Chains A and B, each alone.
Chain A
């Protein structure tokens, strides 16, 4: 079992430029069921992907793969033709919000937006647009979602993952890899790893993911990786206290971040004395979360939370 994505996930891609194409190729090599692409000016064509299979992905495949991906004019057409139930968005930032809303309008139940740099006001409008529609947005500005050896959607390196018992949720891409790799090395593995992204306005938050993992029978524990800015970690702490039965470990980046400075991620800023790492760590520890003292101790913190 897993959450959000698995063997049944059929994915289309919006935004097949250089980056989108590169990661579509990696996804197919991993064994993800990529079923189509949306590109208005190339509708009717196909795009060929071929290469060496990534054997860290879905098992039991040939050593080489070759696939011709059909290209559609709109998301609605792509969904009608392929039965896709997820879309991954690599559309450049100025047009990405529109792409998300198009996918939502076409009824794609899971939209994963990798794009970094979408204007906040675009995301404010997008979130309003999604409000009454039965869709889930993950991201933007995130590495994506992976269920090891089942489905990889996004830009994360596949080989560091291994199937296992832990749900991973994070605001940071590379810190997710750090946590995942430690969980692979200490034998715990992952059920699903979700990057929720570093932007101030995003689709899915920590609480959403904690609830998903709490309801997933295969997930035995969760590690959540937060950072300075906003209050999503504090809300997660409240949820852990009130509604989680599974052990939770965590890490918060930005203990040394100066106030008032945006630390790379648009959402990582301490403003008016709020959103500090110290407050977030205190809230999580108050809820019984085992918080790793350094990013090198995330795997160990998870083991400790599990009581091992």
Chain B
């Protein structure tokens, strides 16, 4: 699960990570009202207006409605004109940004609507660095990744100048030790107060990553100010869904407007669903088989419309919900149900499909392949239902049949 930048900074700030002062706004008036306290509290006349969407590249991104306007704007009107001038400029900006569509390298061409702005104090930046904490799957440990190339996508740095990335694995029994954090700070070229602050920042962040069950913590850029402070100028957190039960405060930050409605509906029914661009809907048990079903549809010349894993223990209601989610997609021209029952019993799937078809109707071809536990019972339920269902002998046969029926 992803959250917004301002929410990430709230969570990190509450755990001792230095972040700029900031205020969130959902209306033009709220944005304007944030300017005075920000300038007065921070003592700097500069404020930054940042679009809040679940995608990176906002600074370089542009609004569809205002092609000359970026997703992040630094307001310097306060330096000469005082607070009132800054407020006037923010009013003008917020009016354009709120409700408009921001396109960045990560949003795709359709962009994302900006519904929230985050206003922050301006920071006097000396250096911009990169810092993240990610899981090293091979080692089964969190790893610090840092580089001097702040503001650049880490994938780009890894591809072009991999020697500039420093890695430090974290032993879960001990956390990030002082000398390890110091080694990272050395590699980033930090000295004096900035080195001391950097070590504290690294150790605090490593602890926060564990405490929050974050599967990614990315601070890009991490900035060093002219007075040697080390601060998170941006903050990206994503969370592992299996651990969300321990973090109701994080769960409450879910922004449903940022998520695909069909994926959200599936999530509420305990189904794993991802929408794709093709025309053949898939319902499968097991994540690996669900992926392989998409692959084989493509292999025989079709395009999958979705990934859908009904899981091992789905009941009839979940199967029916899955069927409805697939048929909601107007691109779907045919459906392939591919089940290899282990815990999942074929008769449960068959009954669920038959019930769902009776309820929502069936306007496209349906191919069903059943194998495994209670397969004979499942096939009988389908056969006796009187529905127009095509049976398949194995998964390639099923994929070929559904592709033939829809082309």
Report A's interface with B, CB cutoff 8 A.
Answer: 19, 23, 93-94, 116-125, 127-128, 143, 155-157, 160, 170-175, 177-178, 181, 198, 200-201, 225, 227-232, 235, 251, 253-258, 261, 263-268, 272-273, 277, 293-297
A165 to B57, CA, bound (A): 53
Q: B80-104: contact bitstring with A at CB < 8 Å (1 yes, 0 no)?
A: 0000000000000000000000000
- How many Å from the CB of A171 to the closest CB on chain B? 7
Report B's interface with A, CB cutoff 8 A.
Answer: 135, 137-138, 140-142, 154-155, 158, 171-173, 210, 213, 215, 240, 242-243, 245-246, 272, 274, 276, 284-299, 304, 307, 309, 312-313, 340-343, 371-373, 394-397
| Contact in complex: A173, B286 (CB < 8 Å) | yes
Cβ-defined partner of A251 (8 Å) among B155, B292, B293, B371: B292
Q: With A128-B171, A263-B287 as known contacts, state yes or no: A201 contacts B137, CB within 8 Å.
A: yes
Question: Mind listing 30 A-B residue pairs with CB under 8 Å?
Answer: A19-B343, A120-B213, A120-B240, A155-B312, A155-B342, A160-B372, A170-B288, A171-B288, A172-B286, A172-B292, A173-B342, A174-B288, A177-B340, A177-B372, A178-B395, A201-B140, A230-B137, A232-B137, A251-B292, A253-B289, A256-B298, A263-B274, A264-B272, A264-B286, A264-B288, A265-B287, A272-B155, A277-B295, A295-B292, A295-B296
In chain B, what residue has the closest Cβ to A228?
A: B291
Contacts of A254 in B (CB 8 A): 291, 295
In chain A, what residue has the closest Cβ to B214?
A: A121
Please give 18 more A-B residue pairs, beta carbons under 8 A apart, in addition to A172-B292, A177-B371, A200-B137: A19-B313, A94-B245, A119-B242, A143-B342, A160-B372, A172-B288, A172-B289, A173-B342, A178-B289, A181-B340, A201-B135, A230-B137, A232-B137, A253-B291, A258-B276, A263-B272, A263-B290, A277-B295
- How many Å from the CB of A260 to the closest CB on chain B? 9
Q: With A200-B137, A264-B307 as known contacts, state yes or no: A174 contacts B291, CB within 8 Å.
A: no
| Contact in complex: A265, B172 (CB < 8 Å) | no
Contacts of A272 in B (CB 8 A): 154-155, 158
A119 to B245, CA, bound (A): 10
- How many Å from the CB of A38 to the closest CB on chain B? 21
A23 to B343, CA, bound (A): 9
Q: With A124-B142, A174-B288, A256-B298 as known contacts, state yes or no: A261 contacts B274, CB within 8 Å.
A: yes
| Contact in complex: A120, B243 (CB < 8 Å) | yes
In chain A, what residue has the closest Cβ to B290?
A: A264
A235 to B240, CA, bound (A): 25
Q: With A258-B274, A264-B291, A266-B242 as known contacts, state yes or no: A156 contacts B138, CB within 8 Å.
A: no
Q: With A127-B140, A261-B274 as known contacts, state yes or no: A118 contacts B285, CB within 8 Å.
A: no
A127 to B342, CA, bound (A): 28
Cβ-defined partner of A175 (8 Å) among B276, B286, B312, B396: B286
Contacts of A231 in B (CB 8 A): 137-138
In chain B, what residue has the closest Cβ to A22?
A: B343
Contacts of A265 in B (CB 8 A): 287-288
Contacts of A296 in B (CB 8 A): 296, 394-397
A230 to B373, CA, bound (A): 32
| Contact in complex: B140, A174 (CB < 8 Å) | no
Contacts of A173 in B (CB 8 A): 286, 288, 312, 342
A200 to B140, CA, bound (A): 8
In chain B, what residue has the closest Cβ to A171?
A: B288
Contacts of B340 in A (CB 8 A): 174, 177-178, 181
Cβ-defined partner of B140 (8 Å) among A123, A171, A198: A123
Contacts of B304 in A (CB 8 A): 256
- How many Å from the CB of A144 to the closest CB on chain B? 10
In chain B, what residue has the closest Cβ to A201?
A: B140
Contacts of B292 in A (CB 8 A): 172, 175, 178, 251, 253, 294-295
Q: With A174-B342, A273-B155 as known contacts, state yes or no: A257 contacts B307, CB within 8 Å.
A: yes
Q: With A120-B240, A155-B343, A157-B372 as known contacts, state yes or no: A175 contacts B296, CB within 8 Å.
A: no
A256 to B293, CA, bound (A): 10
- How many Å from the CB of B173 to the closest CB on chain A? 5
| Contact in complex: B242, A117 (CB < 8 Å) | yes
- How many Å from the CB of A169 to the closest CB on chain B? 13
| Contact in complex: A157, B341 (CB < 8 Å) | yes
- How many Å from the CB of B322 to the closest CB on chain A? 13
A132 to B292, CA, bound (A): 37
Q: With A93-B242, A175-B292, A295-B296 as known contacts, state yes or no: A264 contacts B309, CB within 8 Å.
A: yes
In chain B, what residue has the closest Cβ to A260?
A: B106
- How many Å from the CB of B304 to the closest CB on chain A? 6
A156 to B340, CA, bound (A): 10
Contacts of B276 in A (CB 8 A): 256, 258
A117 to B138, CA, bound (A): 19
- How many Å from the CB of B298 to the closest CB on chain A? 5
Contacts of B246 in A (CB 8 A): 119
Please name the 10 residue pairs, one residue from A and one from B, whose CB atoms are nearest each other, closest first. A172-B288, A264-B287, A174-B286, A119-B243, A296-B396, A174-B289, A175-B288, A253-B291, A264-B309, A295-B292
Contacts of B291 in A (CB 8 A): 227-228, 253-254, 256-257, 263-264, 268
Contacts of A127 in B (CB 8 A): 140
A261 to B275, CA, bound (A): 10
Contacts of B397 in A (CB 8 A): 296
Q: With A124-B141, A198-B288 as known contacts, state yes or no: A295 contacts B242, CB within 8 Å.
A: no
Contacts of A253 in B (CB 8 A): 288-289, 291-292, 295
Contacts of A228 in B (CB 8 A): 291
- How many Å from the CB of A153 to the closest CB on chain B? 14
| Contact in complex: B289, A295 (CB < 8 Å) | yes
Contacts of A156 in B (CB 8 A): 342
A40 to B15, CA, bound (A): 37
Contacts of B140 in A (CB 8 A): 123-124, 127-128, 201
Contacts of B372 in A (CB 8 A): 157, 160, 177
| Contact in complex: A268, B287 (CB < 8 Å) | yes
- How many Å from the CB of A23 to the closest CB on chain B? 8
In chain B, what residue has the closest Cβ to A298?
A: B292
A178 to B373, CA, bound (A): 13
In chain A, what residue has the closest Cβ to B245?
A: A94
- How many Å from the CB of A228 to the closest CB on chain B? 7
- How many Å from the CB of B164 to the closest CB on chain A? 16
In chain B, what residue has the closest Cβ to A225?
A: B288
Cβ-defined partner of B172 (8 Å) among A128, A171, A232: A128
